[in-house]
Structure 1
């Protein structure tokens, strides 16, 4: 098979602001900017990336897809993301070992606990 995962596309009200927020949150770099579109990657030559595209529609409900991240220190990363403007979210998860957050445009993502080695 010759299929390569290139990127995840995220609809946004403000692609520039949301792309910049995620670049800072992940420590990634902006590799492309055009009117209404921003692409970020872990490094210029590394995939997959995230592309933020400005769309006129407002979010319609619960995300059908979300990203999960596994940090070395969950508490420290949650605190850092909250300081950048993320917010905690209750999506009905109950008591779990992960923390559900939203980005500035209310896209849900999870910060998992540390992987036991």
Structure 2
């Protein structure tokens, strides 16, 4: 099935009780701002960075697992993109909140396939037939 996808950005997973301090650190380290302190919802705590290079979506997320960085790939059809990536050797880990796929690359890195938020912004998405 034809669909479009592209790199959306990075999520900085922080195993911390001090999410404000973590977001402040990463904003300053990357030369960004904290654009939204409460970007998450009842199930997840995120802070969205602003003034990011190339309009990349960068969030700092409070997590229970060890700290790491993962990337998000956004697609106009998350199921078609997950299937394309599975064909390349990735594994589906979980369909999260009935909105996005958490996946694992053949080399072990975790990443997510999320719905495309603003197709008109940033680099044009790639079309996959």
TM-score band (shorter)? 0.3 to 0.5
**TM-score, reference length from structure 2:** 0.38
Higher strand content, 1 or 2: 2
